[in-house]
Structure 1
Amino acid sequence: MATVRALVLKHHEKSDGTFNVKIRISHKRVSRYLDTDHFVSQKQLNKKNAIKDNIVLLQVDKTVNKHRKSIGELDGKIDQMTCDQIVDFVKNNKKEIDFIEFSKAHVAQLKIKKGNGVSTFRAVINSLVDYFGREKIFISEITANMLRQYEQYLLKPRKLVRQSRGTKPFTKISPGLSASGLHNHMRDLRGLFNVARDTYNDEDLGIIRIVHYPFKKYKLVKRPETPKKNLDVDQVLKIRDHECEPGSMKELARDLFMLSFYMGGTNSVDFYQMDKSNIKNGRLEYKRSKTKGKRIDQAFISIKIIDEAKPLIEKYIGKLQYRFTTRVGLSSGISNGMRKIREDEKLPQVTYYWARSIVASWARNKCRKSKDDVAMMLNHVDEGRKTTDIYIEKDWSIIDEVQEAVALIIRHLKKKEDNQQRLNPAVNFMSSINLMPLC
């Protein structure tokens, strides 16, 4: 059984000669100490350092009794708990959870671990603050009705006040979210809410601090089917052969787009985090950032560095972090560069991430590779075959074959003006004969 007692620690004397009254909670031969709002001086203590001031004792007893009452609510569960768990329960029992404070702390942890979701979760936090008009939002305020009203708020254009570091606040107009954007935003909000429940609820001990679950009644808007992101061979060649100024964002976008194409659709964040240690025996080996924390194999993949990729690997791997302080900065630079390329070449709304879709589509539709092999190249996992995958050793040469087949489609095509000659040598030969003078 846990015991609760108020006491003063003699060696914790403050510079003004006072002592903070501590609450000691002991359980299973382990003790932990909690600070209180009560302070006493040496005159208010007896020779044994016990509090002798009756007024202070009355106040301290209220605090002790409150903690004892909280512990009493645990009933038989207390035998299964550690002293630290009891202290955590006593400190937080009946305390409202500030959802914004929790979410910011979670994002800070993700940033330290270099995990995914930092930027999207931060966007959700900022949007909630805008919606409520305050920084403190209790999790009990996140209800099904609130989510429905919040959804309508997100669909409409909004005036937002923002402030960059070292600048004055400014107002910007944010357009309403698309159906796809709304789905992603509410999905991320649900993700934050689920993390909060996992953090504050302990179903094994029956400690449930977040009782409600608004996403049971509120259903996320369905994600609309996105148009397939694909280009024909000539359009990819336009990107590959686009002339750029050295060091420009267009050059960066062109090179990394093609590097992703050559390397099985690798994401820019993975290129950003790589260094020379990821290059081993002519292969690029890494753990995909987007899913490494969700898989037993940590989303490890090994891809052959084909000839076309070698100069780009040498040019960018291990150097992107010196050029961009964050992966968001890299993404923004690539986005700007791709926009200029598609304007110059009159291409559709192609972005860097189309490279991943293009290489997958070509592998399946042009090269007739199986969907399983394409999925392996994309580093995807078939949820229905997880158990089977445990028993099968991965053979990276399968990816090599898919990669090689796709690369062959454009391998022998040099500058676009030479394409016709390269593809139709017989036609060009006959043309040269027809131009010869007759004897």
Structure 2
Amino acid sequence: MATIKYEVLKHNMRKDKTWNVVIRVTHKRVMKYIPTTVFVTRDELTSSFKIKNFQKREKCEDILRIYRKRIEEENLEFNDMSADELIRRITRKDVVKPTFIDFSDYYENWIKSNEDEIKGMGNYKTALHSFQKFMGRKVIDCNEITVRLMESYVKWLGDRHRAANLYTICIKRVFNDARETYNDNLDGEEVIKRSLEFFDPPVHVCTEKRAISLEHLRALAAIPDEERSNSSRNIARDVFLISFMMMGANSIDIFSCKWDGEGNITYDRAKTKDRRPDHARIVIKPHPLLMPLIKKYACVLDKKERYVFRFNRMYNNPSAFSYNLNRGLKEVGDLIDEEGLTFYAARHTMATIAFNETDIDKMTIHDMLNHQLPVYKITDIYIKKDFKKINEANFKLIDYVFNDMEKEKAGTHQDKHQGGALLTGDFLTNVVDTVVDITWQLTPQDINTRKSWNVEIKVTYKGQSKLIGTSIFVAENDVSEEGLLTNEYLIKRCEALVNSCKERISRLDLKAAQYDINDLVNKLLS
């Protein structure tokens, strides 16, 4: 009598780091394997490679029931047939063909398998949620997805042109992967019959004016400080100017840039470092006018890491940093009459003013933006990069934009060639290590049994950190896919609590008394 069971063969991992569940048929002491349309990731397997995902086990059991019924019909007690013949008979198309292939299920597994290899995975997650909202359900058959359906989805997205372009690219890519996976079977059967070959994601034409004028940039720089501490408006204004004076650096790169040991700021551009042989590295000599902002946000605790700014201590991650910058820039934009101002405008403004008003050539601007032109991709391999030219251009640009403003404010102006020399490491070591850093944080993985999170206050002093629990709880629907708090009311509560803690700490004479981190926490809790 033939026996059958489903299993996962450990050595059969695919390139996308998934395994195809197979049906093992044993007949006359001969073992044969039948592939299925079920795929699992490592997270869905136990240490002994047993399937722990309930839905996947149910699918496999359904296939086994069909095979067992077919084997019974063969009356093997009376029919002498080989294992190969038995396999041929029970794998008829009408038996193994599933009723549907769950696109959402495949999509989520695809995300798990590629999370460490593909940048911008958050876009793929958002695209799936948007598509499910359009369909009105999570269960979507792959054979429902047609060119006409995708065109309807684009219309449903309306004037969200960037989303229409980005989401449909993501959906089409995963759909094509599913089609290639399921249609690659022994029988040559076209399991997913639909195709998106003739669907072209709509082209996103950037029509909005991202760069701001020279007058608006100067107006932005002249916005006075808000009196309240930790003001998102103040930080957004300052980081916008930091980006401009760092040749249009993106927020993620400002978040993680470091000193190179020679008084220069350096980073590998996060967006393209994995696609370029030079890792998209750039070296920036800080202009004297950038120095006050560097000192204002200097990272004085992680001296060994040599971070330029302490934004990585003020915010949980680059996404939270970016979110808060754009939130603050809404208010900044209102003050300078620049509707829809976003952080990316700093990069566009740098390039636009550099080209239109200071006569810096396009090739130099490309280098300042840390771009690599395809036509020079091979040539760049043979040229040792020298950052002197772009730094001279950057000094020229900053002098043109801000020199007159600084003369009015300070009455003097430092030698424009001193930028990097002002900071050669002394600034990192001579700062008094009595700065108390207080932030609020939300740790996505610390979700409790009630599907909510407890906001914590993080206190850092003299290189040590302590967490203090709060009475602020955050529900699941108040947190984005990236783990960011989106509820404005709760954000304001968190900021108010941080400001209250900072005010209490400011009353202490840290230099006179020998406080340690535990003393400060006790003071806050008392």
The TM-score bracket by the shorter chain reads 0.5 to 0.7
Distance 1:305 1:390, change over 3 A: same
Residue in structure 2 matched with residue 261 of structure 1 by the alignment: 244
Question: Could you report, residue by residue, the CA deviation over 1:303-362 in whole angstroms, capped at 9, with x for unpaired residues?
Answer: 223333344345164532332223332222111211111212323432211110011112
Equivalent residue in structure 2 for 1:182, among 155, 161, 164:
164
Distance in 2 (CA, whole Å) between partners of 1:200 and 1:187 is 20
Look up the match of 2:373.
382
- Contact 2:145–2:194 (Cα < 8 Å) also in 1: no
Q: Which residue of 208, 211, 214 maps to 1:230?
A: 211
TM-score normalised to structure 1 length: 0.63
Match of 2:274, SS state, is helix
Q: Does 1:354 align with 2:345?
A: yes
User: Structure 2 vs 1, CA of residues 148 and 231 (structure 1 numbering), >3 Å: closer, same or farther?
Assistant: closer
Alpha-carbon distance in structure 2 between the residues aligned to 1:352 and 1:312:
17
Distance across 2 between alignment mates of 1:181 and 1:37: 39
Tell me which amino acid in the other structure corresponds to 1:329.
Answer: A
Residue 23 of structure 1 contacts residue 33 of structure 1 at CA under 8 Å; is this kept in 2?
Answer: no
Distance in structure 2 (CA, Å) of the matches to 1:201 and 1:380: 40
Residue of structure 1 equivalent to 2:153: 150
Distance (Å, rounded) in 1 between the aligned partners of 2:365 and 2:257:
26
Distance 1:235 1:416 in 2: 19
In the alignment, is the contact (CA less than 8 A) between 1:237 and 1:416 conserved in 2? no
Q: Structure 1 residues 235 and 218 mapped into 2: Cα distance closer, same or farther (>3 Å)?
A: same
- 139, 143, 151: which one aligns with 1:140: 143
1:288 aligns with 2:279: no
Residues 1:180 and 1:127: Cα distance change in structure 2 (over 3 Å): closer
Amino acid at match of 1:101: D
Shift of 1:374: 1.0
Instruction: Give SS of 1:309's match.
Output: helix
Distance 2:327 2:202 in 1: 30
Letter of the 1:122 partner, please give it: K
Q: Deviations over 1:182-234 (max 9, x none)?
A: 2333233334445656877889xx999767541x3122323234244333333
Evaluate the alpha carbon distance shift between residue 286 and residue 197 of structure 1 in structure 2; reply closer, same or farther with a 3 A threshold: farther
Partner SS state of residue 199, structure 2: coil
Measured at CA, do residues 415 and 405 of structure 1 come closer, stay the same or move farther in structure 2, by a change above 3 Å?
closer
Note closer, same or farther for the CA distance 1:7–1:183 as it changes in structure 2 (3 Å cut): closer
Distance of aligned partners of 1:357 and 1:197 in 2 relative to their CA distance in 1, 3 Å threshold: farther
Tell me if 1:124 matches 2:106: no
Call closer, same or farther: CA 1:286–1:387 in 2, change over 3 Å: same
Question: Structure 1 residues 7, 324: closer, same or farther in 2, change over 3 A?
Answer: closer
Structure 1 residue aligned with 2:108: 104
Equivalent residue, structure 2, for 1:252:
235
Q: 1:353 to 1:198 in 2, by over 3 A?
A: farther
CA–CA distance in 2 between the matches of 1:98 and 1:194?
14
* Kept in 1: contact 2:277–2:381 (CA 8 A): no
Is the Cα contact below 8 Å between 2:24 and 2:32 reproduced in 1?
no
Shift of 1:66: 10
Structure 1 residues 335 and 98: alpha-carbon distance in aligned structure 2, compared to 1, 3 A threshold: same
Q: After the TM superposition, which residues 325-340 of structure 1 pair with which residues of structure 2 at under 5 Å, given as runs?
A: 325-340=316-331
State the match for 2:522 in structure 1.
Answer: none
Decide whether aligned partners of structure 1 residues 321 and 217 sit closer, same or farther in structure 2, where only a CA change above 3 A counts: same
CA distance in 1, matches of 2:260, 2:190: 48
Match of 2:404 in 1: 413
Structure 1 stretch 96-105 or stretch 190-199: which is displaced more? 190-199
Conserved 8 A contact 2:157-2:163: no
Change (3 A) 1:193 1:410: same
Cα distance in 2 between the residues matched to 1:229 and 1:112: 32
Shift in Å, 1:265: 0.8
Q: Which residue of 2 aligns with 1:81?
A: none
Task: State the alpha-carbon separation in 2 of the partners of residues 412 and 67 from structure 1.
Answer: 85
Uncovered stretches (5+) of structure 2, i.e. residues with no partner: 7-22, 34-47, 52-59, 63-70, 299-307, 413-526
> For 1:241-286, what per-residue CA distance to the aligned partner results, in whole angstroms no more than 9, with x for missing partners?
21223411011101110111011111112223x164x544222222
Q: Identical aligned pairs, as a percentage?
A: 24
Compare the two structures and name the one with the higher helix fraction: 1
What one-letter code is carried by the residue in structure 1 that aligns with 2:102? D
CA RMSD in angstroms, aligned pairs only: 4.5
Q: Which is higher, the Rg of structure 1 or of structure 2? A: 1
Q: 2:279 aligns with which of 298, 301, 307?
A: 298
1:296 Cα deviation from its structure 2 partner: 3.7
Q: Aligned letter for 2:125? A: R
The alignment covers a number of residue pairs equal to: 341
Is the CA contact (8 Å cut-off) linking 1:23 and 1:34 kept in structure 2? no
Q: Which amino acid aligns with 1:400?
A: N
Distance 1:235 1:7, change over 3 A: closer
Asked whether the equivalents of residues 103 and 140 of structure 2 are also in contact (C-alpha less than 8 Å), the reply is: yes
- Using the alignment, how far apart are the partners of 1:229 and 1:243 within structure 2? 23
The alignment's TM-score, normalised by the length of structure 2, stands at 0.54
CA change 1:275–1:415 in 2 (3 A) is: closer
* CA-CA distance at 1:407 after TM superposition: 1.1
Which residues in structure 2 correspond to 1:310-329 (within 5 Å)?
Answer: 310-314=291-295, 315=297, 317=308, 319-329=310-320
Q: Tell me, in whole angstroms, the C-alpha distance in 1 between the residues paired with 2:346 and 2:177.
A: 33
- The separation in 2 between residues aligned to 1:199 and 1:397, in whole angstroms, is 50
Matches of residues 166-205 of structure 1 in structure 2 within 5 Å? 177-193=159-175
In structure 2, C-alpha distance between the alignment counterparts of 1:311 and 1:23, rounded to whole Å:
73
